[in-house]
Amino acid sequence: MFIERSAARVRLMRTLFVLLGILPCAGLCAWAALRHSSGHREAIERRFEQVVGLPLQIGSVEHVRPDAIRLRGCTLSLPTGGGVLSVPVIEVESAVGEVRIAIDRLDCTPAVARMLVTLAGQWLRQPARFPMDCVVEVGDIAWRPRLSAAVAPSAAVHVECVAANGSRAVRVRLDQVDAPTPDEIRVVAMAPEDGDGQHSDRFEVNGSIERPLPIAMLEALAGLEAGSLPLGDEACVSGEVAAVLDGSGSSGSARARVERIDLAAASMHLPHRVSGEAALLVDRIVWSRNRIDACVCQCSVSRGRVGQRLLDALVTVLGCRPGVAYRSLTRDEVRGFDDVSCTLRIEADGINVAAGPGRAGSLVRIQGLSIIEEPTGFMPLDRLAWLLSPPGAAPVPASRATAWLLGLFPLADAGGAASGRSGRGQAAGGSVPAESSGVQPSQAARPVLRNEF
């Protein structure tokens, strides 16, 4: 028995099959092929490069769910060439007004840190270029001060870049297993409108880092040139900072602890060489407009060696007093010492060096005998420049170290405050401060040896 068929009905069913079956399937296949094509991958690379501003290479792209992609084999390079950051897997998820980025592991070198700090600064300063909030989650970040160095202890990192009420902020939180509270750094960019309609950038920085951070990473995160803090490859720092940066410079306060300082590396560019391992505890430092107003710190050094010329300079320049072991019986030019303990105080009155508690005024000791003892009072701040200047320098000490140092302190103000204390300076055995004779501290003659020695 045959079923009656209509030619029109057959054509209709075939047309519906093509429209509802074959064409959608072909479209899905074409869409899937496009998503896995090199053109689609290159389009994503170009889009990210426009935002990041650096060349990016992506190995492959996976669309794991709507508005979420997984990028494999990513390498971020410098404009001049050469890979800087390589990440095996990055997951990017987009939402309304927000982008979330997840990275399993990241080895952070100083070059990578500088690149990330630059991106954070651009995000704070260029809202038109970065209109969306951004959240970055790194499951495990390891500080690698040098490519050949062992990886420092790692931590999970949470980064938030958010904008609200005309302000933009970057918050970085480091969650560490053995730390009771996470380390955190916050930078808030304000753009207050002036009377002339112009906008002046103002940044508020607050940070607390209790777990020691390699000094090379601190240079990178602070935007300093590599080697600006030549304290050795093993040096590390922790502490707190609260500062404001605007058109007049930087002002704020901080406390810090710097450990494992290599004095041989720290004195490499100085006229006096010292060796040993030191620790510096900065109880308080306050600065305004890039100049230090006050500082109190404690320094301790384990066994090491020091040149006799530096000991002489401490006596003639800073007013320290020679101890019973000031000179060796054989008149050695390089002396060994067992320990150093001192407190350095910098105020408007000048600089004061005091011995640690329980040392009877001894700054440097060997076999229980004092090599150098603390001075009796404050000395002008420009004496630090003389201490770091090479022998035979011009009346204005000009060297790489002193040029940096003279820019840190308001020497003219300190000199004026010290002029009324010239009697104390003479009592300490130092030369008469130049400011008492009308000569600026930065133009004072080098202190001479005290004839009582």
DSSP string, 149-215: SPPPPEEEEEEEEEEETTEEEEEEEEE-TT-SS-EEEEEEEE-PBPTTS-B--EEEEEEEEEEEEEH
Report the mean per-residue pLDDT for the chain: 78
Q: Is 312 inside a domain boundary?
A: yes
Q: Which of 37-46, 281-290, 357-366 has the lowest mean pLDDT?
A: 37-46
Same domain, 418 and 386: yes
Q: Which tens digits make up the pLDDT trace of 184-223?
A: 999 998 865 554 444 457 899 999 998 888 898 888 888 8
Strands 334-337 and 304-307: antiparallel
Same domain, 213 and 331: no
Q: pLDDT confidence of 252, banded at 50, 70, 90?
A: very high
Q: Has residue 270 got a pLDDT over 60?
A: yes
Q: Is 6 inside a domain boundary?
A: no
Contacts of 404-410 with CB under 8 Å at 24 or more apart are 406/382, 406/442, 407/290, 407/291, 408/290, 408/291, 408/292, 409/291, 409/292, 409/346, 409/381, 409/384, 410/291, 410/293
Task: Give the residue carrying structure tokens 């040139």.
Answer: 225
Amino acid at 63: H
Q: Is 220 inside a domain boundary?
A: yes
CA–CA gap between residue 399 and residue 392 (Å, rounded): 12
CA–CA gap between residue 135 and residue 101 (Å, rounded): 6
Read off the pLDDT of each residue in 143-169 and give the average, rounded to a whole number: 77
CA–CA gap between residue 343 and residue 273 (Å, rounded): 21
Same domain, 209 and 253: no
Same domain, 180 and 283: no
Quote the number of domains for the chain.
Answer: 2
Same domain, 261 and 216: no
In Å, the largest CA–CA distance within the chain is 136
Q: Is 20 inside a domain boundary?
A: no
Same domain, 270 and 404: yes
8 A C-beta contact, residue 346 and residue 354: no
Q: pLDDT confidence of 177, banded at 50, 70, 90?
A: low
Q: Point out the domain boundary residue: 198, 228, 258.
A: 228
E-only strand ranges, 16-97: 56-57, 60-65, 68-77, 83-95
Same domain, 279 and 156: no
Q: Has residue 31 got a pLDDT over 70?
A: no
Among 23-27, 46-50, 296-300, 389-393, top mean pLDDT goes to: 296-300
Q: Is 241 inside a domain boundary?
A: no
Per the model's pLDDT, the better-predicted residue between 30 and 437 turns out to be 30
Same domain, 220 and 254: no
Same domain, 408 and 271: yes
Read off the pLDDT of each residue in 59-67 and give the average, rounded to a whole number: 83
Per the model's pLDDT, the better-predicted residue between 131 and 393 turns out to be 131
CA–CA gap between residue 303 and residue 276 (Å, rounded): 6
Q: Which of 166-180, 271-285, 286-300 has the lowest mean pLDDT?
A: 166-180
Enclosing domain of residue 350? 248-453
Read off the pLDDT of each residue in 273-295 and give the average, rounded to a whole number: 91
Burial class (CB in 10 A: 0-12, 13-18, 19+), 58: middle
Per the model's pLDDT, the better-predicted residue between 2 and 143 turns out to be 143
Q: Has residue 327 got a pLDDT over 70?
A: yes
Same domain, 144 and 290: no
Q: Is 14 inside a domain boundary?
A: no
Q: pLDDT confidence of 409, banded at 50, 70, 90?
A: low
Helix (H, G, I), strand (E, B) or coil at 440: coil
Q: Point out the domain boundary residue: 228, 260, 281.
A: 228
Q: Point out the domain boundary residue: 228, 262, 286.
A: 228
Same domain, 126 and 182: yes
Q: Which of 6-20, 73-87, 249-263, 297-311 has the lowest mean pLDDT?
A: 6-20
Q: Is 3 inside a domain boundary?
A: no
CA–CA gap between residue 318 and residue 387 (Å, rounded): 8
Per the model's pLDDT, the better-predicted residue between 13 and 362 turns out to be 362
CA–CA gap between residue 205 and residue 135 (Å, rounded): 19
CA–CA gap between residue 27 and residue 111 (Å, rounded): 45
Same domain, 187 and 293: no
